[in-house]
Structure 1
Amino acid sequence: MTNRGGISVDYDYLIVGQGIGGTALAWHLHRLGKKIRVVGDSSLPSSSRVAAGIFNPLTGKKLVKTWLADQLFPYASEFYASLENKLNIKLVYPLPVYRPYRSIEEQNTYLAQTANPGIAQYITSQTDDLLPLDYISNPYGGLKVGQSGWVDLPLLLDQSKIYFEKEGIYTEERFAAEDLIFTSDTVEWNGKTFNKVILCQGVMALENSFFNWLPFSPVKGEILDIAVENILKPYIVNQGIFILPLSKDSARVGATYSWDPLDWETTDAAKNELADKIRSLLNVPFTVTKQNAGLRPSVKDRRPLIGIHPEENRVGIFNGLGTKGVTLAPFFANEFAQHLEHGKELNPLVNIKRYFSLYFH
């Protein structure tokens, strides 16, 4: 039993969802000595398990620095390194990103942008002289971006779950918000009492009334695994799509963006779209070996959704991490944990207070 304000409860927090968001928040609250219970359902599809886990400080067609990159990337690096050490596994694979120029105009634009100190710190090389990527079509050369790579998210989630199970704080079960019982001071679920419930459900948040009023804008994404002829070098290639080498003869490629239909089914249209883009980048034959689809829990303003329900202060949300969850999750899990335990103000750009007008409308 934990005791807060004279009220005894079985747990401080019930964390619903064991994707990258729920897992990162669970680790942070666990480290603070909080008594937590994590509930997950392995039978449900998970965008975290489909995602390639790439982190890249410079994104988009215009070579823009990722929002809060100077804070997110160092924190994520420390967080994943600490988990690698604690769980005795390898999670992070640093790899430079090679961005072939699409045209002379883009080359000139990008090179001009590298004069910006905020961007220059992430540029490893402005030419492709040291990049013998002869399997890539890059007649105009390209940029080499550093402080990038990928995180093995399925391994992170699996090993975290094993750890939580050993600690006796994980429940494998389908969660339904209707099963929550609110008393004057606590929340009850499955016969146990909690101070707070934090919903980290990804797109599943749209299935209950607590937060379905928030402006989620789910996006379907599909990725392919491909096999090639033992030639791939340790570089992520990024030009419209990413080509992430998993070995010398295999890679993961993505991703598509679609809004209709919003389901978890793979499609021939996405496969053909990606294959066409691969052919425009790779000048060697390849074979598609696997295809996956996922629904990203994106938000209209492209910022996370974090905070406490406007009327029910025992229910919170940690969601909306979108396509950059691998770097957003650790940093904002810490911010939310500090908010929950010590009252630290949340960044107003992620705090769901920015949307309270939608709830009270």
Structure 2
Amino acid sequence: MAVNDFNSERAAASERVGVLLVNLGTPDAADARSVRIYLREFLSDRRVIEEQGLAWKLILNGIILVVRPRRKARDYRKIWNTEKNESPLKTITRSQAGKLSEQLAGSQIVVDWAMRYGNPSIRERINALVAQGCGRILVVPLYPQYSAATTATVCDEVARVMQELRAQPAIRFAPAYPTDATYIEALALSIKAHLAALPYRPDTIVASFHGMPQEYVDKGDPYYAQCVATTEALRARLGLDTDSLMLTFQSRFGSAEWLKPYTDKTIEGLAKSGKRRIAVVTPGFAADCLETLEEIAQENAEIFRHNGGEQFSFIPCLNDSDAGMDVIRQLVMRELQGWI
């Protein structure tokens, strides 16, 4: 090997490598103004709302951003981390990054975290990684199932940031992991441990994923198929059938048809059909957030009890648990091959 080639390889080996964990986002405070800022950024993304014409802008600015922020701010206050004055999603994502950094201590890897919408922004944290000497950055969207409205929009934003950089780092994106063995095992162990601690045996477990418009799937988005694949892998691991572990979709928005079956309608139907005890798990979320802690654990629990159900249990996300960190660490180490 030529001396210059050897020196180049040695320099590459000692160069810092950045790992950026990215989750969806959160308002900076649990008030209407902060929620309005967050929703405007989120709902102005063409990946999230594909039709951004005049009609949508009138609806967004004339109705949604007038009415929805105050109501959503109340919901955020129900789950807000008052000690840190931030949402649980921000607390957990920071912890995930911190724990991953500790697990990789002694290497040339620098771990950071960002939110696609809100703060800290992807732009801010990529610039921070570059400033720390990271010539290569692995971006890890924390979405187990791929969707253009989640994973792809992270890639879009990274591309916009890169356009502003004269000296660009090399970029990789970690893929979705809907049937990754470590992820399925972590979910199964989490469910088993939670159910073992309950004073009752659930009649049914509901696996609730975030919804999306049916039209997006019809156009080719693989999200629905990956949610099905995750659920089927989880059923196989737990030895459950389709009635014992049900697939549903939550958080629909607007009047268009979304992926079915709907979580709230399914939970209402279970209670009305005589099911008295259920548990709900949210495999599509890597960290607990408004959609899990308020919408599922509170709102859907009330729907279940209001319609005759008796015992409702929410199974927390993997979060920064040992099993959850194993999923993230193994994903990161796999995707860093050849860089470290």
User: Taking structure 2 as the reference length, what is the TM-score of the superposition?
Assistant: 0.30
User: Taking structure 1 as the reference length, what is the TM-score of the superposition?
Assistant: 0.29
Greater strand share, structure number: 1
Greater helix share, structure number: 2
